[in-house]
Amino acid sequence: MRRVQFILITVLALPILVCSQTQHETDSTVIRSIYTEVLANGECYENLEVLCKDIGARLSGSKEADKAIAWGKALLEEYGFKNVHLQDVEVPHWSRGDIEEGWIESKGEKHPTKICALGGSVGSGGPISGQVVEVKTFEDLEVLGREKVEGKIVFFNKAMDPVLINTGAAYGGAYYQRGKGASESAKYGAIGCIIRSLTHALDTFPHTGGMSYEDGVKRIPAAALSTVDARKLSKSLKQDPELKYMLHLSCVKYENKIQANVIGEIPGTEFPDQYIVVGGHLDSWDIGEGAHDDGAGIVQSIEVLRTMQALGIKLKRTLRVVLYINEENGNNGGKTYAERAKQSEMYHFAAIESDAGGFTPRGFRFDGQDHHYSTFKTWSDLFDPYNIHIFRRGHTGVDIGPLKDGRVALFGLVPDSQRYFDFHHSDNDRFENVNKRELELGAATVASLVYLIDSHLIP
Amino acid sequence: MRRVQFILITVLALPILVCSQTQHETDSTVIRSIYTEVLANGECYENLEVLCKDIGARLSGSKEADKAIAWGKALLEEYGFKNVHLQDVEVPHWSRGDIEEGWIESKGEKHPTKICALGGSVGSGGPISGQVVEVKTFEDLEVLGREKVEGKIVFFNKAMDPVLINTGAAYGGAYYQRGKGASESAKYGAIGCIIRSLTHALDTFPHTGGMSYEDGVKRIPAAALSTVDARKLSKSLKQDPELKYMLHLSCVKYENKIQANVIGEIPGTEFPDQYIVVGGHLDSWDIGEGAHDDGAGIVQSIEVLRTMQALGIKLKRTLRVVLYINEENGNNGGKTYAERAKQSEMYHFAAIESDAGGFTPRGFRFDGQDHHYSTFKTWSDLFDPYNIHIFRRGHTGVDIGPLKDGRVALFGLVPDSQRYFDFHHSDNDRFENVNKRELELGAATVASLVYLIDSHLIP
C-alpha cells in the first residue's frame, strides 16, 4: 500500500516536478503508476466474474444481452462516469433452440458427436440424414460436382494451420468453411453442412460462430463438430464410405430487436469535444460465458476509465468507453456508433479496441495516418519494462473499424494469441480460463496508450 | 504436409543454395523450418503427457524419480540418440508422509485449513498446538522478541508483490519466508512455522518448496497455507488474537540415495569434443505432476534433439541433452554434472536451460562473455517473426549454473511468467494446465538458439 500511495503522490505532483524531469521520465512515471494501480487495486477481474457468472452468454437479441446492457450502464454510473447513456441499435435475434444432435450411423451402429449449430443457421426441420462427402476446400466441391454431392451432407475438415505463429492468421485461413461452406455446398445440392471446429485444440468442444447464406441459394442447416469428432468422422469414412450422418438442429430466426451500445465518459479538460474511445463488445456467442470474447475487452475498457479517475490523471480530451452490442453477428453496434458520430460531426481523435482475449498483452496494431504511426513507434521504449513489444500496422478491431475516416487513429490491443482459439466461441470460454494478472496487464497497457495518445499525438 | 516437405528440402539443400543466399536468409530459412517441424510434427506434448500421467510427481529419492530416470533413458534410446547413459548422483530422500493437517481453533470451533509441509521440514512429532503470531518480515520477529514468540506458531503472511511485472522477481522478494522462516522463528522459541503460499493466485492450493534449517538452531516443523486460508487465518486473528493453530506433519528424512542425471547426444560433425547442452530437471516436487516445473523443460530439451535429427540439421558441435536430477532440493544433479565435466576436462561451449514453465516463450537471459552477448543480441531480428524479444543478461538456470567458468555461454529460456506461480510446487501443476502450442514454441525457440550458437558464436 505504501508503494501505491508513493506513486500516486508522484503523479499528482507532476506539474511541480515536470521542470526537473524530462518528458520521457514523466511518461515513465505515469505509466508505472498506471500499471501499479491496476495490478494492486484493479477491479476488472471481479467485474468479469459478475458478467460471466451472473449473466453468462449474451447473444444479441437475447434476454441475457438485455441484462448485460443494464449491468454495463449501472456499473458506469456506479463509477461516477459522466454522460452515461444507451445508444439504440437494431440487432438480429437468432436462437439455436433446444435441439442440436448429430450422429454417425455406420454398420447398424449409432455414434453421437458433439456439435453446435453455426450462428445464423436455419433449422433442419426435424432430423435429416445423408451420406457424407469430406472436403477441405471449395475447389474440392467443384471437382466432386453435383453428381457426388447432391442429397448428401458436406463435411469440411480443413484444420487451422498449426505452423502459423499468429493463431488469428490460422483462423483467417480456415474461416471460409464456417462463413460460406453451407451456401457453397448447397450450390451442388447438399442437404446439410458440418465443419471441423475452428480451433487448434484437439478436444470435445464444438465452436460456433457467424455464417452467412448467399442470396438465391437454398439455405441448408450448418453445424460445427468438435475436433475430436471431426477426426473420428474422417476415420470412420475411410472404414465405411457409405456411412450416414444424422443432423437435427432446431434453430429459429426471430424479428430484429432494439438493443443498445452502452456509453460513458470522463470529460476532457482542454478539448472536451475531441474523443478518445476505448471499447470492446458486450454481446457474445450463446454458449460458454463470453469470458475472453469479449468480456475481457469490456472490463478492461471500463478499467481504463476507473484507473484514470483513481490516479487523478487529467486528460485533455474526453475519454469515452463504448460497450458495443452485436459484434458477433452483424456489427450493428459498431456501424451504428460510427454513423451517429458522423451525423453529429463528432471528432473522434482515436479509438482503441480490445477484442482478442484477456491474455498477456504483447503490443498493438495501428491503422491511421503516417505521422501518428511514427509517433506511436517511439513509445516502444516506454513500454519495454512491461514486455510490450509489438507496434505494427494492421487490423485493429471490428467494432471500431467503421470509425475509420482517414483522420482517426485506430489501435487494437494485441494479446498473446496462442490459447485464444482453445476457448473462442465455445462452452470453454469461461471465467476460470482467464488469468487475473494477464487481464489486468491488458487493461494497464490500454490505459497507458490512452495517456500517451492524449499527451503526444498531434492532430 | 506439402509445406513441411518443401521446407525440409530447402534445409537439406542449404549447401547448394548458400552461395545465392545471404547468411541472414539462410538462418531465417533454417529457423522457420525448425518452428514448422515442432508445430506440425512435435512430440513434446505427448511426451509430457506420459511423464505427467504415467509417472507424475517425482521428488528426488522417490520411486517415481527412479521411474522417471528409466523413462528418460528409454526415450533417448528410442530416438536413437548416441552415448545415452546415466550419471550417478547422490540425492536426499525426504518424504512428507501420510499426515499433514492444520486447524484454526477459535472460540470452541475448529476450522480446517489447506496446508502442505515445506520440503525438508521435520515432522511435528504428533499434533502440536499454539497461539499464532502473524508477521511479514524477520524484522517483525525481532521487534516482537522471544517474549511474544516463545511457545507459539509463527505465521509469515507477506504476499508476493503484485505490481512487479516479472513474477519471478515477486517470488524472489517473498522467498525468505519459505527458505529461512522456520529457523528465524525458532531463534525466538517458536514451536512451528506456517507461511502464506508463494503464489499470486487467491485459491485453495498450498504450494510447497525447499527450505533449510540453520545449523545450531532447533528444527521446528514448517508448512505452507493456501492463500485463501492465509487470508482466513489473518482475519480470524483480528477477531480472536488468542486463537490457536494445530499443526500435524509426519515428514521423515531417510538416508541419501543414488539416482542419476540422464544424458544423450547427437555427435558434432566438426568439433565433437565441444558440447552444447540443453536441459531441464527431471525431478519435481512431490505434489501435482511437475508439468510446468519442470516436465516442460525436460520434454522441450528432448524435442530440440528430435527436431535437429528430423530436419537433418548437422551441428558442428555435439548437442547433448541432460535431464538433471535433484534441482528442487539440493541441485546435486547440476553440481555433479559440472564437477565431472571439470574432472574430465570437457569443453562446454554453451548450455541452455528451460526451467520457467511451458508458457509462450518471450526470449532468453544470458550469462557469459561480452563478445558472446554482443553476437547474441544481433539475433533479435531472426527471432522477431516468432515474437521472441527478450535478449537480456541475467540468471539463466539452477542446473546449468555450476558450469559457469568464465568461458561457457549460459542461456535461460524466458517464457511468459504471469501464470507460472499459479501452478508452481502445487497440486495444480498438472498436464492439463500446459498448452500444446506454448510448449512447442518454447522447444522451437531453444532449438533455433542452438542452431545459431553453433553457427555464429566464436570461442
ipTM score = 0.94
Mean pLDDT of B397-422: 98
Name the minimum distance, in Å, from the CA of B326 to any CA of chain A.
Answer: 30
> According to the model, what pLDDT value does residue A21 have?
83
Rounded CA-CA distance B68/B74 in Å is 10
Mean pLDDT of A306-328: 98
Instruction: Give the model's confidence band at A8: pLDDT under 50 very low, under 70 low, under 90 confident, else very high.
Output: very low
Instruction: Give the model's confidence band at B19: pLDDT under 50 very low, under 70 low, under 90 confident, else very high.
Output: low
Cβ atoms of A249 and A117 within 8 Å: the answer is: yes
- Domain boundary (A207, A225, A250) is at A250
Instruction: Give the model's confidence band at B21: pLDDT under 50 very low, under 70 low, under 90 confident, else very high.
Output: confident
Whole-number percent of chain A with pLDDT over 90: 95
Mean pLDDT of A14-20: 52
- CATH of residue A128's domain is 3.50.30.30
> According to the model, what pLDDT value does residue B9 have?
44
Name the minimum distance, in Å, from the CA of B360 to any CA of chain A.
Answer: 8
Q: Do A162 and B40 touch (CB under 8 A)?
A: yes
> According to the model, what pLDDT value does residue B7 have?
45
Q: Is the pLDDT assigned to residue B6 strictly greater than 60?
A: no
Mean pLDDT of A185-207: 98
- Domain boundary (A234, A250, A266) is at A250
- What is the strand order of the sheet A109-113 is part of? A109-113, A100-106, A244-249, A128-135, A153-156, A192-196, A222-225, A115-117
If one compares B228 and A15, the residue with the highest pLDDT of the two is B228
Rounded CA-CA distance B288/B286 in Å is 7
Please provide the DSSP assignment of A98-164 as one string. S-EEEEEEETTEEEEE-EEEPBTPPP-SS-EEEEEEEESSHHHHHHHHHHHHTTSEEEE-PPPPTT-
Chain A interface, best mutation among B37, B165, B166, by max A CB count within 10 A: B165
Rounded CA-CA distance B337/B279 in Å is 12
Q: Is the pLDDT assigned to residue B429 strictly greater than 90?
A: yes
C-alpha cell belonging to residue A210: 457467424
Please check whether residues B161 and B22 belong to one and the same domain: no
Name the minimum distance, in Å, from the CA of A261 to any CA of chain B.
Answer: 33
Name the residue of chain B whose CA is nearest to A385's CA.
B165
Q: Do B35 and A163 touch (CB under 8 A)?
A: yes
Please check whether residues B77 and B102 belong to one and the same domain: no
Rounded CA-CA distance B16/B11 in Å is 10
Chain A interface, best mutation among B32, B414, B436, B445, by max A CB count within 10 A: B436
Instruction: Tell me which chain B residues have a C-beta less than 8 angstroms from the C-beta of A3.
Output: 163
Q: Do A360 and B416 touch (CB under 8 A)?
A: yes
Please check whether residues B214 and B145 belong to one and the same domain: yes
Domain tally for chain A? 2
Instruction: Tell me which chain B residues have a C-beta less than 8 angstroms from the C-beta of A445.
Output: none
Q: Is the pLDDT assigned to residue B53 strictly greater than 60?
A: yes
> Of A445, A377, A442, which is closest to residue A409 (Cα–Cα)?
A377
Which residues have a Cβ under 8 Å from the Cβ of B411 and sit 6 or more positions away?
A: B350, B351, B352, B353, B364, B365, B366, B367, B376, B396, B449, B453
Please check whether residues A154 and A285 belong to one and the same domain: no
Whole-number percent of chain B with pLDDT over 70: 96
Please confirm, yes or no, whether B134 is among the known catalytic residues.
no
- The catalytic position among B327, B328, B353, B440 is B327
Please check whether residues A42 and A103 belong to one and the same domain: no
Give me the total of CB pairs closer than 8 Å, taking one residue from chain A and one from chain B: 67
What's CA B318's distance to the chain center, in Å? Answer: 25
> According to the model, what pLDDT value does residue B205 have?
98
Name the residue of chain A whose CA is nearest to B363's CA.
A387
Mean pLDDT of A111-118: 98
> According to the model, what pLDDT value does residue A337 have?
98
Instruction: Give the model's confidence band at B13: pLDDT under 50 very low, under 70 low, under 90 confident, else very high.
Output: very low
Which residues have a Cβ under 8 Å from the Cβ of A361 and sit 6 or more positions away?
A: A386, A388, A413, A414, A415, A416, A438, A441, A442, A445
- The catalytic position among A265, A327, A353, A440 is A327
Rounded CA-CA distance A49/A35 in Å is 21
- CATH of residue A313's domain is 3.40.630.10
Name the minimum distance, in Å, from the CA of B86 to any CA of chain A.
Answer: 35
Please check whether residues A288 and A364 belong to one and the same domain: yes
Please check whether residues B448 and B397 belong to one and the same domain: yes
Q: Is the pLDDT assigned to residue A194 strictly greater than 80?
A: yes
Of the candidates B163, B387, B390, which has its C-beta nearest A36's C-beta?
B163
Which residues have a Cβ under 8 Å from the Cβ of A188 and sit 6 or more positions away?
A: A141, A144, A145, A146, A149, A150, A154
Q: Do A389 and B385 touch (CB under 8 A)?
A: no
Cell numbers 468453411 correspond to what residue? A177
Please check whether residues A211 and A279 belong to one and the same domain: no
Q: Do A437 and B162 touch (CB under 8 A)?
A: yes
Name the minimum distance, in Å, from the CA of B383 to any CA of chain A.
Answer: 12
Name the residue of chain B whose CA is nearest to A417's CA.
B360
Chain A interface, best mutation among B160, B382, B418, by max A CB count within 10 A: B418
* Chain B residue set in contact with A, beta carbons under 8 Å: 3-4, 35-36, 39-40, 162-163, 165, 167, 200-201, 360, 362, 385-387, 389-390, 416, 418-419, 422, 435-438, 441
- What is the tens place of the pLDDT at every residue in A242-259? 999 999 999 999 999 999
Backbone angles phi and psi of B428, in degrees to 5: -85, -5
Cβ atoms of A165 and B35 within 8 Å: the answer is: yes
Chain B interface, best mutation among A387, A423, A438, by max B CB count within 10 A: A387
Which residues have a Cβ under 8 Å from the Cβ of A374 and sit 6 or more positions away?
A: none
Of the candidates A200, A390, A435, which has its C-beta nearest B418's C-beta?
A435
Q: Do B422 and A441 touch (CB under 8 A)?
A: no
Name the residue of chain B whose CA is nearest to A165's CA.
B386
Q: Do A416 and B40 touch (CB under 8 A)?
A: no
Please check whether residues A80 and A140 belong to one and the same domain: no
* Chain A residue set in contact with B, beta carbons under 8 Å: 3-4, 35-36, 39-40, 162-163, 165, 167, 200-201, 360, 362, 385-387, 389-390, 416, 418-419, 422, 435-438, 441
Mean pLDDT of A212-230: 98
Please check whether residues B59 and B111 belong to one and the same domain: no
Of the candidates B39, B390, B436, which has its C-beta nearest A163's C-beta?
B39
Cell numbers 553453433 correspond to what residue? B454
Give the H or E element holding residue A228: helix A227-239
- Domain boundary (B220, B250, B280) is at B250
Q: Is the pLDDT assigned to residue B154 strictly greater than 80?
A: yes
Q: For the stretch A200-232, what's the b/e string if a residue is b when 16 or more beta carbons lie within 10 angstroms of its beta carbon?
A: bbeebbbbbbbbebeeeeeebbbbbbbbbbbee
Q: Is B6 exposed, middle or buried (0-12, 13-18, 19+ CB in 10 A)?
A: exposed
Mean pLDDT of B75-103: 98
Q: For the stretch A120-142, what's the b/e string if a residue is b when 16 or more beta carbons lie within 10 angstroms of its beta carbon?
A: bbbbbeeebebebbbbeebeebe
Please check whether residues A49 and A126 belong to one and the same domain: no
Q: Is the pLDDT assigned to residue A20 strictly greater than 90?
A: no
Of the candidates A40, A385, A438, which has its C-beta nearest B418's C-beta?
A438
Q: Is the pLDDT assigned to residue A16 strictly greater than 60?
A: no
- What is the tens place of the pLDDT at every residue in B315-344? 999 999 999 999 999 999 999 999 999 999
Please check whether residues B396 and B286 belong to one and the same domain: yes
Instruction: Tell me which chain B residues have a C-beta less than 8 angstroms from the C-beta of A39.
Output: 162-163
Domain of residue A164: give its range.
97-250
Rounded CA-CA distance A333/A356 in Å is 18
Mean pLDDT of A426-438: 98
